[in-house]
């Protein structure tokens, strides 16, 4: 059986948040005062969910949070996930999204355990600005060391996620272009979405795909790279062939029609969209002793009703029932 929703989209991409704790308090994500809000499950519970979902056609699993590297035992968890097999006998692709603060030490063990790819979030490439955004002093050097250790471990290409806010860090665009070329990483700019704790989002604050391309092109000409149908990022290479950037533009160029994702929150709720206004309590069913068959039935029914699209910027937009850090980005 494969997971398909009522709009004919095939679902093969799973994100699991393994904690909603975070050691950074990025100004566009957190209030700075709120902490963790939801429970964490033992890894064996996420593993059971992942096993059932891989049996239903999931081929890619991304671990996220909160900050996933705060969870002890993540290396063993990756190694257990790496033993799962898709219907055609392959290991699922395993990826990680992290702020990179604790990555330097653990990049090689994660790679050895079966991690395929890592995405590191960085919203500035100068140490002072980085500290202002994360509200943690001296993080930049640790994150840079994490990026370099990941490349060295063969987690290639390392991707860097950067969220731009007008008037705050959009002057970093060209610096990120240089960073992509010098550090041999793929920098991906993500348009800011209304998923923050502080509700500061306005359409004006979003730095759009068109603006990013235009600014970057003043530095060096860009050539668009053909992208897969289900790929969320528009990809560009610099015209001299050195360095790649991508732009994920859910606000100005939504890609809901190609969405192939579902999410599990740290407390075991199934979410079918970042902007869902409710979630589905998979863990409660497990806790009550449901068999794999019952869980499968539940998942199939929930996924069928996946939302058609988000409504960012439309009149009457209803905010998601959780903010990004408590969903898993």
Using CB under 6 A, list all residues that contact ligand SAM.
22, 29, 64-65, 67, 97-99, 121, 161, 163, 190, 192-193, 195-196, 324-325, 329
Nearer to ligand SAM, 141 or 284 (CB): 141
Q: Which C-beta is closer to ligand SAM: that of 65 or that of 246? A: 65
Cα dihedral 172, 64, 273, 25 in deg (nearest 10): -50
**Smallest distance from ligand SAM to CB 274, Å:** 9
CB of 87 to ligand SAM, least distance (A): 29
State the nearest-atom distance from the C-beta of 277 to ligand SAM, in Å.
16
Of 62 and 235, CB closest to ligand SAM: 62
The residue sitting closest to ligand SAM, measured at its beta carbon, is 329
* Angle made by CA atoms 84, 87, 90, in degrees to the nearest 5: 55
Rounded CA separation 118/95 (Å): 6
Q: Is the dihedral of CA 205, 191, 303, 46 positive or negative?
A: negative
Give me the least distance between CB of 4 and ligand SAM, in Å please: 27
- Widest CA span in the chain: 59
Taking the least distance from each CB to ligand SAM, the nearer of 23 and 59 is 23
If 0-12 CB within 10 Å is exposed, 13-18 middle and 19+ buried, where does residue 151 land? middle
Tell whether omega for the bond before 157 is within 30 degrees of 0, i.e. cis: yes
| DSSP per-residue string spanning 211-240 | HHHHHHHHHS-EEEEP--TT--EEEEEETT
Q: Which residue has the tokens 């029609």?
A: 257
Q: For the CB of residue 207, give the shortest distance to ligand SAM in the complex, in Å.
A: 11
Secondary structure letter of residue 307 according to DSSP: -
CB of 124 to ligand SAM, least distance (A): 12
**Structure tokens belonging to residue 83:** 């033993």
| C-beta of 75 vs 165, nearer to ligand SAM | 165
Say how far apart CA 251 and CA 253 lie, in whole Å: 6
Smallest separation, CB 85 to ligand SAM (Å): 27
Q: At what angle do helices 139-153 and 127-134 cross, to 10 degrees?
A: 100
Which one, 17 or 260, has the nearer CB to ligand SAM? 17
- Which of 260, 266 has the CB closer to ligand SAM? 266
């Amino acid at each position: 059986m494969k997971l398909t929703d009522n709009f004919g989209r095939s679902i093969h991409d799973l994100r699991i948040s393994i904690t909603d704790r975070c050691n950074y308090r990025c100004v566009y994500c957190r209030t700075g005062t709120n902490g963790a809000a939801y429970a964490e499950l033992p890894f064996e519970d996420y593993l059971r969910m992942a096993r059932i979902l891989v049996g239903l056609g999931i081929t890619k699993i991304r671990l996220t949070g909160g900050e996933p590297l705060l969870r002890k035992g993540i290396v063993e968890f990756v190694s257990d996930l790496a033993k799962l097999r898709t219907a055609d006998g392959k290991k699922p692709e395993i990826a990680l999204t992290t702020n990179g603060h604790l990555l330097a030490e653990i990049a090689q063990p994660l790679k050895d355990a079966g991690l395929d790819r890592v995405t590191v979030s960085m919203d500035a490439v100068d140490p002072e600005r980085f500290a202002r955004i994360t509200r943690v002093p001296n993080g930049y050097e640790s994150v840079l060391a994490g990026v370099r250790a990941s490349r060295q471990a063969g987690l290639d290409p390392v991707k860097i996620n950067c969220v731009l806010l007008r008037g705050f860090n959009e002057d970093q665009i060209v610096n990120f272009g240089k960073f992509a070329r010098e550090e041999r990483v793929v920098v991906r700019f993500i348009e800011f979405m209304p998923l923050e704790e502080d509700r500061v989002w306005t359409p004006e604050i979003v730095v759009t795909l068109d603006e990013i391309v235009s600014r970057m092109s003043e530095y060096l000409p860009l050539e668009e790279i053909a992208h897969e149908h289900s790929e969320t990022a528009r990809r560009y290479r610099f015209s001299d062939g050195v360095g790649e950037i991508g732009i994920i533009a859910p606000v100005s160029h939504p890609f809901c029609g190609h969405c192939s994702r579902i999410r599990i929150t740290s407390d075991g709720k199934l979410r079918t969209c970042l902007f869902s206004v409710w979630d589905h309590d998979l863990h409660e069913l497990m806790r009550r002793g449901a068999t794999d068959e019952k869980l499968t039935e539940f998942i199939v029914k929930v996924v069928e009703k996946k939302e058609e699209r988000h409504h960012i910027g439309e009149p009457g937009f209803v905010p998601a029932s959780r903010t990004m850090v408590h969903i898993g980005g």
